[in-house]
């Protein structure tokens, strides 16, 4: 989704919305800064937030330990011309990649939480562009 707010304001809104849905940010990768430092390449603001709902992660790991390879759920915040874009991974990959049907309900809960967080970002940042 696209919002008309600044990158920094959108990142703050995403963090708050994720927290409201029970997700913490375990990892943060500033792709722009990394590419600048490692390759002397310039690009737009691009941040990958590794979001995790501890309760859902625990349930998923109890079912299939290898699911940790697919955690946390990545949420990307990036600039695109005059807007900021926010995207989240579809947790259904947990089910599709592991072929563990018992993960289906957990993936659905994670998807619902991420969708609610993204909807809250839209409200915080005004109507989508």
Amino acid 57: pLDDT? 96
**Averaged in consecutive runs of 10 residues, what is the pLDDT profile of the chain (129 residues)?**
96 98 98 98 98 96 92 96 95 84 94 97 77
CB atoms within 10 A of CB 80: 12
DSSP, res 81 = T
Cα of 18 vs its chain's centroid, Å: 8
Please tell me the distance from the alpha carbon of residue 27 to that of residue 34, in angstroms, as a whole number: 14
50 close to 24: Cβ distance less than 8 angstroms: no
* Residues 16, 124, 44, 70, CA torsion sign: positive
Q: What is the pLDDT of residue 60?
A: 94
What confidence score (pLDDT) does residue 111 get?
96
pLDDT at 128: 45
CATH 3.30.310.70 matches 2-122: yes
Cα–Cα distance measured from residue 13 to residue 118, given in angstroms and rounded to the nearest whole number = 9
pLDDT at residue number 91: 92
Opening angle at CA 72, ends 66 and 85, nearest 5: 140
Amino acid 64: pLDDT = 92
């Amino acid at each position: 989704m696209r919002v008309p707010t600044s990158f920094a304001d959108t990142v703050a809104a995403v963090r708050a919305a994720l927290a409201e849905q029970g997700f913490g940010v375990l990892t943060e990768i500033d792709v722009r800064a990394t590419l600048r430092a490692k390759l002397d390449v310039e690009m737009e603001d691009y941040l990958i937030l590794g979001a995790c709902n501890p309760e859902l992660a625990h349930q998923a790991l109890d079912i299939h330990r290898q699911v940790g390879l697919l955690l946390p759920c990545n949420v990307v915040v990036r600039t695109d011309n005059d807007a900021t874009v926010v995207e989240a991974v579809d947790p259904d990959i947990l089910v599709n990649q592991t072929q563990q049907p018992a993960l289906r309900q957990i993936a659905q809960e994670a998807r619902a939480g991420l969708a609610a967080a993204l909807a809250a970002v839209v409200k915080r940042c005004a109507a989508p562009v």
